[in-house]
Amino acid sequence: MIIDGRQLETRWWGPNPDQAPTLVLLHEGLGCVALWRDFPDALVTATGCGVFAYSRFGYGASDAAMLPRPMSYMHDEALTVLPRVLDAAGIHRAVLIGHSDGGSIAAIHAGAVQDARVAGLGLIAAHFFVEALNIASIAEIRLTFEQGDLRRRLARYHRDVEGAFRGWNDAWLDPRFAAFDITGQVARIRVPVLALQGSDDPYGSAEQLRVLERVATCAVETRMIDGARHSPHLETRDATLAAVVPFVRSSLMEAAA
């Protein structure tokens, strides 16, 4: 897919947008299309929907992003890039399913754009504000990248592994990023939201869910996934599907009513 003259890596699973609604997957800060692993296939089987994923610029096999990333990079993705991707993909009716940064991007988009194509949001370990434990874990993973084997492992998935890592890690560890807070956008979401958090997530506490419950004016369901860390859809896939699948069905039915 070409967006603004640059190549985005994309992949489809299951029916196309003219045959069924689409579940749009928005990856985490170190993710890409391939790192969704078998979750898209499981979603197609369980829901009958099509699934569409893309690697944001700077990730996977997509073209590079300009570095350093601005402090507004998630807003830029939500308000500028995502609408163009949905247009280019021909998506008419969708549920956005975002993991970590991708969940934040989905929430910003739904709160600011009021996109009639979007019937609901499935947010997995999304960040609505910055926590001290979040920053401590991101500082720790920098050491793993620089001194451990994380660089080698990520290089299997990213054409520019240095750019993918630094673009995300440097932004989060910039002192200015402490002001990141999207609760204002969350309060303007008008579609149903399902928010999941791993009980052992090192990048966010249960307070992320509590804040969502306090500020949201839409229908919200929150759930802690026992035994999961930051990627419940991979670590505890069955429990995650048990929450996501009925939510997808009900959101699409409500939107069609």
Return the structure tokens found at 154: 């990520």
Does the predicted TM-score (pTM) go above 0.95?
yes
Compute and round to an integer the Cα radius of gyration of the chain: 17
Domain count, the chain: 1
* CATH code of the domain covering residue 145: 3.40.50.1820
CA dist 230 and 172 (Å) reads 16
**Tens of pLDDT, residue by residue, the chain (257 residues):** 998 899 999 999 999 999 999 999 999 999 999 999 999 999 999 999 999 999 999 999 999 999 999 999 999 999 999 999 999 999 999 999 999 999 999 999 999 988 999 999 999 999 999 999 999 999 999 999 999 999 999 999 999 999 999 999 999 999 999 999 999 999 999 999 999 999 999 999 999 999 999 999 999 999 999 999 999 999 999 999 999 999 999 999 888 86
Cβ(49)–Cβ(14) below 8 Å: yes
Q: Which domain holds residue 205?
A: 2-256
